[in-house]
Amino acid sequence: MNATGKTLRNLSDLAKAELVQPSERVALEQVAARYAIAITPAIADLIDHADPNDPIARQFIPNAMELERHSNESADPIGDFTHSPVEGIVHRYPDRVLLKLTHLCAVYCRFCFRREMIGPQVHALAPAALDTALAYIAAHPEIWEVVLTGGDPLILSPRRLKQIVARLAAISHVAVIRIHTRLPVADPARITPALVRALKTRGKATYVVLHANHPRELSAAARAACARFVDAGIPVLSQSVLLRGVNDDAATLGELMRAFVACRIKPYYLHHGDLAPGTAHLRTTIEHGQELMRNLRGRYSGLCQPAYMLDIPGGHGKSPIGPNYLSVETPGRYHVTDFNGGSHCYPPPK
Choose the stretch contacting ligand SF4; rule: CB under 6 A; options: 46-54, 69-77, 103-111, 125-133. Answer: 103-111
Closer residue to ligand SF4 in complex, CB, 109/146: 109
Identified binder of ligand SF4 from the candidate list 13, 66, 152, 274, rule CB under 6 A: 152
Burial of 71 (0-12, 13-18, 19+ CB in 10 A): exposed
Is residue 112 a contact point for ligand SF4 (CB under 6 A)?
Answer: yes
Residue 33 gets which letter from DSSP? H
| Residue 92 DSSP SS3 | strand
CB of 211 to ligand SF4, least distance (A): 6
108 touching ligand SF4, by CB under 6 A: yes
Kindly state the smallest distance separating residue 148's Cβ from ligand SF4, in Å. 12
Q: How far apart are CA 289 and CA 279, in angstroms?
A: 17
Task: Select from 82-90, 112-120, 263-271, 318-326 the region that touches ligand SF4 (CB under 6 A).
Answer: 112-120
Q: Strand 307-311 vs strand 265-271: parallel, antiparallel, or unpaired?
A: parallel
Q: Is the peptide bond before 151 cis (omega within 30 degrees of 0)?
A: yes
- Site size for ligand SF4 (CB under 6 A): 11
190 binding ligand SF4? (CB under 6 A)? no
**In terms of CB distance, is 294 or 318 closer to ligand SF4?**
318
As to burial, measured by CB atoms within 10 angstroms (0-12 exposed, 13-18 middle, 19+ buried), residue 205 is middle
CB of 66 to ligand SF4, least distance (A): 13
User: Among 92, 211, 214, 272, which residue interacts with ligand SF4 (rule: CB under 6 A)?
Assistant: 211
- Taking alpha carbons only, the member of 132, 134, 124 closest to residue 168 is 134
Q: Could you say which of 61, 99, 109, 130 contacts ligand SF4 (CB under 6 A)?
A: 109
Check residue 100 for interaction with ligand SF4 (CB under 6 A).
no
Question: In the complex, what is the shortest distance from the CB of residue 106 to ligand SF4, in angstroms, rounded to a whole number?
Answer: 7
Using DSSP bridges, classify how beta strands 89-93 and 326-330 pair: parallel, antiparallel or unpaired.
Answer: unpaired
Catalytic residues, by residue number, are 92-93, 96, 105, 109, 112, 114, 274, 311, 318
Angle of helix 286-299 versus helix 250-262 axis, rounded to 10: 50
| Paired strand residues for 210 | 181, 238
Residue from 98, 118, 270, 304 in contact with ligand SF4 (CB under 6 A):
118
Is residue 105 at the binding interface for ligand SF4, with CB under 6 A as the rule? yes
With b for 16 or more beta-carbon neighbours within 10 A and e for fewer, the 297-331 pattern comes to beebeeebbbbbbbbeeebeebeebebeeeeeeee
Q: Rule CB under 6 A: which of 235-274 touch ligand SF4?
A: none
The residues binding ligand SF4 (CB under 6 A) are: 105, 108-109, 112, 114, 118, 150-152, 182, 211
